[in-house]
Amino acid sequence: MAIVIDNAKMQAAIDQAFTITSRTPELSNTGGFSFANARSIVVVTINPVQLEDYDLSANLAQRLAAIADADTESETYTISQRKSFAQKLETVDKIDQLAVTVGRILEVQMKQEVVPAIDKYRIAAICAVATANSQTVVIKPADGYDNLLDMTNYLTNANAIDVDKLYFVDTKAYKSLRQSGMLVPYTETERRNMVKGTIGMLEDMTVRQLPDSYFPTGFHACAVAVDAGLGPIKHQSTQVIDKIPGSFASVVQGLLVHDYFARKARKLAFAAVKA
**172-176, 194-198, 229-233, 250-254, range with greatest mean pLDDT:** 172-176
Which of the four pLDDT bands, split at 50, 70 and 90, describes residue 17?
A: low
State phi, psi for 252 to the nearest 5 degrees: -95, 125
Average pLDDT over residues 152-178: 94
| pLDDT, tens digit, 9 for 90 and up, residues 92-125 | 555 556 666 667 777 777 788 888 999 999 999 9
Q: Which pLDDT does position 194 carry in this prediction?
A: 73
Q: Which of 191 and 223 is assigned the larger pLDDT?
A: 223
Q: Which pLDDT does position 175 carry in this prediction?
A: 92
Which of 31-40, 201-210, 231-240 shows the lowest per-residue confidence on average (mean pLDDT)? 31-40
Greatest Cα-to-Cα distance within the chain, rounded to the nearest angstrom = 91
Q: Which pLDDT does position 158 carry in this prediction?
A: 95
For the cut 70, the answer to whether the pLDDT of residue 65 exceeds it is: no
For the cut 70, the answer to whether the pLDDT of residue 54 exceeds it is: yes
Which of 4-13, 120-129, 184-193 shows the lowest per-residue confidence on average (mean pLDDT)? 4-13
Q: What is the DSSP string of 211-250?
A: -GGGSPTTEEEEEEEGGGEE--EEEEEEEEE-S-TT-S-E
Q: In the predicted model, what is the mean pLDDT of the chain?
A: 82
Q: Which pLDDT does position 95 carry in this prediction?
A: 53
Q: Which of 57 and 93 is assigned the larger pLDDT?
A: 57
Alpha-carbon distance 259 to 30, whole Å? 11
Q: Which of 20 and 197 is assigned the larger pLDDT?
A: 197
Which of the four pLDDT bands, split at 50, 70 and 90, describes residue 196?
A: confident
H/E element, 273 = strand 270-274
Q: Which pLDDT does position 252 carry in this prediction?
A: 78
Q: Which pLDDT does position 96 carry in this prediction?
A: 55
Average pLDDT over residues 20-30: 85
Average pLDDT over residues 79-99: 70
Q: Which pLDDT does position 113 carry in this prediction?
A: 85
What are the start-end ranges of the E strands in 122-228?
136-138, 165-169, 198-202, 205-209, 219-225
Radius of gyration, CA atoms only, the chain = 24
Alpha-carbon distance 165 to 269, whole Å? 9
